Amino acid sequence: MAESKPDCLQTISGENGTTYSNLFDVILSDDYDSVWEEHCKAIVGEENAAEAVEMLKSFISGDVYGDDAVALYGDGSEGFIFDCWYLNDVKSFTMNGDEITINKLDGTSETHKYRCIGTYQIGADETMTWGGETFCPAFDCEVYQATDDAGDFTYFFFRDDTMETTYHIEFRYGSDLAALQQYMKGRYAYWLAAGIDANADAETIDNVIALFCTENLSAEE
């Protein structure tokens, strides 16, 4: 663990706070099927576009994580699907300075203050097979800890994505600091949440779908 300047939460909060819906609740909507097809077609051609869209959507549409995912996928060498949804009945998160408000599906919410505790690495000493290659999937996250009893929302791990750079954010949250540092094993295995500004416009949604297609289809080539 290395010390980190506590600015990630401020950055993704914006000037007046930002509410993040789940990225895939938004971009997997039927409303954007033509956008997916357009960007996949540009990379793999019209003949293979439909198959590419189906593959990409399925890769992030899993609903199994943790020990159940480990039992199903093992080390992932024979294939896997990531769960990218919000856990614990969360509808959205509102980031506002040093506060995070958890907005639940039942209409309730809870707000906690957080402090940065440094940069931690997820997935160290693990391996992933993707695109025909096996590699260490480790990546750094800026980690925040609640200043009160926040239960399943005690820790937040944020990657360096922002709405300005990649049109979305990627993060994890939970109550177990050590387990959150594991990527393809443990209680949070095969889970990485993604969010998008709840007020994202059509251009932003087009951009994030284009980025997702380019990054993942390029890896497959």
In a domain, 128, yes or no: yes
Measured CA to CA, the distance from residue 182 to residue 131 in angstroms comes to 21
CB 76 within 8 A of CB 128: yes
Domain around 122: 8-28+62-199
Q: Mark out the alpha helices in the chain (DSSP H runs).
A: 8-13, 23-27, 33-44, 46-59, 66-73, 177-180, 202-220
Question: How do residues 36-89 score in pLDDT, each as one tens digit?
Answer: 999 999 999 999 999 999 999 988 889 999 999 999 999 898 899 999 999 999
In a domain, 53, yes or no: no
Question: How do residues 5-21 score in pLDDT, each as one tens digit?
Answer: 548 999 999 999 999 99
In a domain, 130, yes or no: yes
pLDDT score at 202: 97
In a domain, 76, yes or no: yes
Count: domains in the chain: 1
In a domain, 193, yes or no: yes
Task: CATH number of the domain at 91, please.
Answer: 2.40.128
pLDDT score at 220: 56
Phi-psi region of 74 (alpha: psi -120 to 50; beta: other; left: phi over 0): left
pLDDT score at 104: 99
In a domain, 113, yes or no: yes
pLDDT score at 218: 78
In a domain, 75, yes or no: yes
Residue 183 confidence (pLDDT) above 90:
yes
Measured CA to CA, the distance from residue 28 to residue 211 in angstroms comes to 14
- Complete DSSP assignment for 131-157: TTEEE---EEEEEEEESS--GGGSEEE
In a domain, 41, yes or no: no
Question: How do residues 136-173 score in pLDDT, each as one tens digit?
Answer: 999 999 999 999 999 999 999 999 999 999 999 999 99
CB 182 within 8 A of CB 164: no
Measured CA to CA, the distance from residue 54 to residue 142 in angstroms comes to 32
